Amino acid sequence: MIKLQRSTDRRYVRSGSQEIWMSFDQTGFRALDVLNEVKLHPGRNSRFQSDGDQESITYVREGRLVARHRPRGDEYLGPGYCQRATSHSLLITSAPDESPFRGAHLFVSSMIPRQPEGEPSCEQRHYPYSDRRGILRLIASPDGCDASLRLQQDVRVYSSVLDRGRHVVHELGTGRGAWLHVVTGRICLVDQTLETGDGASLDDESAVSFTAEKASEILLFDLA
């Protein structure tokens, strides 16, 4: 079963420092509790507070960020950087830019791990566009394989940058589901068209199969 969520169905929140589009308002999909698209204004702060033992993944699509951890110090994140963090507060600042009209564009997802990790932890990796072009690049997984971020939850997260006409098939194991999010562009999922900001949940499907109808970028969550 495939269920679509249009971009216009997402909850939109705007404040002085940021704009947020929330894929899930109250209830997520399987282990995926939160998937927020965030645009930070230049030189402004945003605080992401974990809820209980949630595990978060932050993907920076555009702009430059300063992630201020306490007590470990500051870390700098640019385009293509992904960061996994657990059980702690994270203050993110969009770095000042020459243009007052540019800030940072990022995606924040969170999941509930199978068991509390204990001490807060954080790691980050860089996945350039060239490494994600034309393939599903694994960026997070339970075993940290293929240089992916290591998750506690049985979730695999993929990122892909696709040229027009590129067809992608991702097989799903028995009992697993998927959430597909279109970061930008337009894709055809079976007989449905999804555009920038649209998402789709897949349950009781053997595979995720889609084609880029124009240059696109997607995020795919393979969920137990």
Mean pLDDT of 97-109: 71
pLDDT (0 to 100) of residue 68:
67
> Alpha-carbon distance 199 to 181, whole Å?
4
pLDDT in tens, 7-52: 999 999 998 778 999 999 888 999 999 999 999 877 666 665 555 5
Average model confidence (pLDDT) for the chain? 87
Asked whether the beta carbons of 223 and 172 are under 8 A apart, the reply is no
Domains of the chain: 2-223 (2.60.120.10)
Mean pLDDT of 155-168: 98
Cα–Cα nearest to 152, from 186, 197, 194, 111 = 111
Mean pLDDT of 82-107: 67
Q: Is 146 helix (H, G, I), strand (E, B) or coil?
A: helix
pLDDT (0 to 100) of residue 85:
83
> Alpha-carbon distance 57 to 113, whole Å?
12
For the cut 50, the answer to whether the pLDDT of residue 194 exceeds it is: yes
Strand duo 155-162 + 149-150: pairing: unpaired
Cβ neighbours around 213 below 10 Å, total: 17
- For the ranges 37-46, 109-118, 137-146, 154-163, the lowest mean pLDDT is seen at 109-118
Mean pLDDT of 131-150: 96
Residues 6+ apart with CB under 8 A from 81: 59, 60, 65, 124, 125, 126, 127
Q: What's the whole-model pTM score?
A: 0.90
pLDDT (0 to 100) of residue 104:
86
> Alpha-carbon distance 158 to 148, whole Å?
10
Please give the helix or strand (H or E) that residue 131 lies within, else none.
helix 129-132
Asked whether the beta carbons of 170 and 178 are under 8 A apart, the reply is yes
Distance of CA 143 to the CA centre of its chain: 18
pLDDT (0 to 100) of residue 115:
59
For the cut 50, the answer to whether the pLDDT of residue 98 exceeds it is: no
Mean pLDDT of 61-80: 77
Mean pLDDT of 172-201: 97
Beta bridge partners of 104: 40
